[in-house]
Amino acid sequence: MTARLTVEGARVAHLEAARQRLMVLVILFAGAFALLGLRVVDLGLLQAFSISQDRSGEAPAPPAMRADIVDRNGAVLATNLKVASLYAEPRHVLDPAEAAARLARIFPDLSIAELEDSLSSGRSFEWIKRKLTPRQVAAVNTLGIPGLKFTEEEQRIYPHGRLAAHVLGFADVDGRGLAGVEHALDRRLSDAGRGPAPVALSLDLRVQHAVTDLLAQAVGVFKAVGAGGLVLDIYSGEVLALVSLPDFDPHHVADAPKEARFNRMTKGVYELGSVFKAFTVAQALDGGVASLADGYDASEPIRAAGFLIRDDHPKNRFLSVPEIFVHSSNIGAAKMALDIGADRQKAFLDALGLLRPAALELPEIGRPLLPERWRDIATMTISYGHGIAVTPLQAGTAVAAMVNGGIHRPATLLADSERRTMVETPVISERTSANMRQLMRLAVTRGTGGNADVPGYRVGGKTGTAEKAFEGGYRRDALITSFAGVFPVDSPRYLVLTMLDEPNGIPATQNFRSAGWNAAPLAGGIIQRIAPILGVEPREEDEGLYRRASLLIAEETGR
Amino acid sequence: MSRLITLLTALMALTAAGGLYQLKHTVEQRRDGIEALAERIAEDGEAIRVLEAEWAYLASPQVIQDRALRYLRLKPIAPHQMASSLAVLPFRTGDKMLTGAGSDGRVLPRPRSKPRAPERTIAIAQRGGGHLAAIGGTPAKRAERPQAADDFHVRMARTLKRLEEGVR
């Protein structure tokens, strides 16, 4: 009995243990199912909305592309197209010699020997040719050679070809910007996080073309070696057109001579001549050194430190300040600059941004050439634009500050939405700026810039003619002529700067080759063409505006 | 009783499995659809890029200028041809009088005098044998307009006529 009881006790204990183990399992499973149930409720009821809104992983994001470049109106200036590139897997090429011979027939620029070398190299990857035309792709496909494969690559396309080539620059075969905006904004253009939004420039394609067209005609007419043009919004500093001729085709950069890739407007530094008189006169008026009614004796050339300063259009008499500007008297400007003094002149030109490289969004920016020591003779020559070499872009920006109410704003190539901050430096007073507008108008109606006038558009401006510096001296036969014009001068909005490199005299200009005969009419032609595009309304002129200054200019007799 | 529960449970499990399979299948189909759609969107996007580039190329100012010089008898607009508002337009006199103008016997304002033509352009053009006329704003290729342009008009007229006849 006892033994049986014992046996029974053992059975119960076994059963008990089994039951307990089972219970553990039941609890585990129940817990797991409860968790699953909770999760189902969570997903089905609580998170249902957010899951249905989740779009990730639905459509694969389009591959990152270099951003397009557009002009201020959204016209495409640079974009990407997918093109096929041909590569070989030499291990799989059966007959390298035969394949090389047949490929060379499609690509005449590839040599058979090199092709055969790369095809028989036994490597797993060899570029044959990148960026094929559709015709070439079809031709390679019809060859049916095993081991030749295509891959898709992006090709940078500039639909307008040469137009604005100096501004846009170009990108290499791997899509890295090497020049122009392509280089300066490379990080922004290749920023994948930016999405497909294009980068908008301040350029206006139509204005850019008009300027290019007329500059090219002028280069032909005057047989100049080059030319440059700039159109600037004087209130925002936006560059509407920036042209340098000769230009190049950004699709075939390697074929372009170095000369053509040189950006005269931003990289080239030139002594621009009388355009600088605008700065001298403005500073004299603003600093109280001279008033409009004052004047200087310009009857005798100045001899100083081995230099002879004389006038190109000598009047040999006492000249009023407006006369000095309008007749472009070097003697008068030099004397005015001496009254201003070297230190103040230097500080003023510095505030105008003429003494340091411009801050334009281009890698091709020239460094101004300044006198080593700013002595009196330097002060005098700089007053009429000699002894200092700046980029035409800087000169244009500085002239804009003379007429826009006296605020210097650095030029920019970016449209409004792209810009970050703008540094504004007041340089002259509103009143002086108004006087400068009058003087610039008079320099056109009564002075050297007469050929720049366009009826209805009230052009004001200043011509500049300078001999090219050459091996320590000057070349009499090579001129840089320029014209900095603003229109409409009574409420100016735009600046047009033209520059011709080594223009020649032609019968139509009575063989004269100074700025008034080429750069000035060129600017006039540009203004006549772009004013309707820019929405400037032609109006009859209010001559009363210029009366006070005009009375200070003696009537020319016996000419 | 317990048999019924087992049966019901089994039925539910089967239904759930069937439903889940169906759902999974639908989701897979949808996903394939989305992928195909995304591929088409990418293809269309690429086609749009190509067309935009082509449009930019065909609408390039230089291209349009060449076409205009070739086919149109148009000159660049001159300042005196522009009016900012109706107010600056002069009234017409005589039989072409505007309705209502001057009907109450008021004296009509004299038409605005015709603005002067840009003298410089003409002067230089005469002197320079037309070199600088281009800079003054007149198209340089005026004189050498190809004969094809006239043919074009004739052909166009003929085509239009044929079309009209065809419609009738």
Count the neighbouring beta carbons within 10 Å of the beta carbon of residue A420.
Answer: 6
pLDDT, position A255: 85
C-alpha to C-alpha distances, A265 to A228, A245, A268, A497, nearest whole angstrom: 6, 9, 6, 10
Distance CA B11, CA B66 (A): 80
Q: Does A82 reach chain B within 8 Å, measured CB to CB?
A: yes
Q: Does A155 reach chain B within 8 Å, measured CB to CB?
A: no
pLDDT, position B147: 47
By DSSP bridging, strand A307-309 and strand A69-70 are unpaired
C-alpha to C-alpha distances, A324 to A318, A344, A545, B121, nearest whole angstrom: 9, 20, 19, 28
Distance CA A205, CA A243 (A): 11
Confidence of residue A153 (pLDDT cuts 50, 70, 90): confident
> With an 8 Å Cβ cutoff, are B45 and A62 in contact?
yes
| Mean of pLDDT values over A358-370 | 90
Percentage with pLDDT > 70 across chain A: 94
pLDDT, position A476: 75
Classify residue A273 by its DSSP letter.
G
Active site residue A274: yes
Distance CA A242, CA A226 (A): 14
User: B96 vs chain A: nearest CA distance in angstroms?
Assistant: 27
The token pair that represents B140 in the structure block? 């340089």
Residue of A nearest to B36 (CA): A59
Distance CA A67, CA A78 (A): 9
Q: pLDDT (tens digit, 9 = 90+) per residue, A409-431?
A: 889 998 876 565 677 888 999 99
The token pair that represents A85 in the structure block? 């590139």
The token pair that represents B142 in the structure block? 């005026």
User: A79 vs chain B: nearest CA distance in angstroms?
Assistant: 7
ipTM reported for the complex, 2 dp: 0.73
Count the neighbouring beta carbons within 10 Å of the beta carbon of residue A13.
Answer: 10
Q: Is the pLDDT of residue A389 over 60?
A: yes
Picking from B132, B141, B142 by the largest number of A CB atoms within 10 A of its own CB, the best residue to mutate is B132
pLDDT, position B111: 54
Q: Mean pLDDT for chain A? A: 86
The owner of tokens 């072409």 is B96
Q: pLDDT (tens digit, 9 = 90+) per residue, A247-263?
A: 999 988 888 888 899 99
User: B142 vs chain A: nearest CA distance in angstroms?
Assistant: 15
| Mean of pLDDT values over A134-153 | 85
C-alpha to C-alpha distances, B141 to A268, A284, A401, A507, B154, nearest whole angstrom: 33, 48, 39, 21, 21
Residue of A nearest to B135 (CA): A525
SS3 assignment, position A233: strand
Distance CA A424, CA A234 (A): 12
C-alpha to C-alpha distances, B116 to A272, A539, B83, nearest whole angstrom: 34, 13, 15
User: B59 vs chain A: nearest CA distance in angstroms?
Assistant: 9
Q: pLDDT (tens digit, 9 = 90+) per residue, B79-133?
A: 777 776 677 666 665 555 444 444 444 444 555 555 554 444 333 333 333 344 4
Q: Give the phi and the psi of residue A102 in degrees, each rounded to 5.
A: -75, -35
Which position among A202, A274, A320, A383 bears the catalytic label? Answer: A274
Chain A residues touching B29 at Cβ < 8 A: none
pLDDT, position A297: 87
pLDDT, position A391: 94
| CA angle centred on A357, ends A356 and A360, rounded to 5° | 135
Instruction: Return the closest-CA partner of residue A93 out of A72, A121, A68.
Output: A121
Q: Is the pLDDT of residue A526 over 90?
A: yes
Instruction: Return the closest-CA partner of residue A294 out of A319, A327, A260, A257.
Output: A319
Instruction: Return the closest-CA partner of residue A458 out of A543, A556, A552.
Output: A543
Q: Does A144 reach chain B within 8 Å, measured CB to CB?
A: no
Q: Is the pLDDT of residue A557 over 70?
A: no
SS3 assignment, position A310: coil
Distance CA A236, CA A156 (A): 30
pLDDT, position B77: 78
Strand (E) or helix (H) holding A506: none
Instruction: Return the closest-CA partner of residue A519 out of A452, A460, A458.
Output: A452
Poorest-pLDDT segment among A59-68, A257-266, A547-556, B107-116: B107-116
Of A77, A451, A507, the CB nearest to B120: A451
pLDDT, position B90: 65
Residues of B with CB under 8 A from a CB of A: 34-35, 37-38, 41-42, 45-46, 49-50, 52-57, 59-62, 65, 76-80, 82, 84, 115-116, 118, 120, 124, 127-129, 131-132, 134-137, 140
Q: Is the pLDDT of residue A273 over 50?
A: yes
DSSP A38-95: HHHHIIIIISHHHHHH--TTTSPPPPP-PPPEE-TT--EEEEEEEEEEEEE-GGG-S-
> With an 8 Å Cβ cutoff, are B120 and A521 in contact?
yes
Distance CA B124, CA A240 (A): 29
* Amino acid (1-letter code) at residue A476: R
Chain B residues touching A508 at Cβ < 8 A: 124, 127-129, 131-132
Chain B residues touching A457 at Cβ < 8 A: 79
| Mean of pLDDT values over A269-295 | 90
Q: pLDDT (tens digit, 9 = 90+) per residue, A507-523?
A: 888 888 888 889 999 99
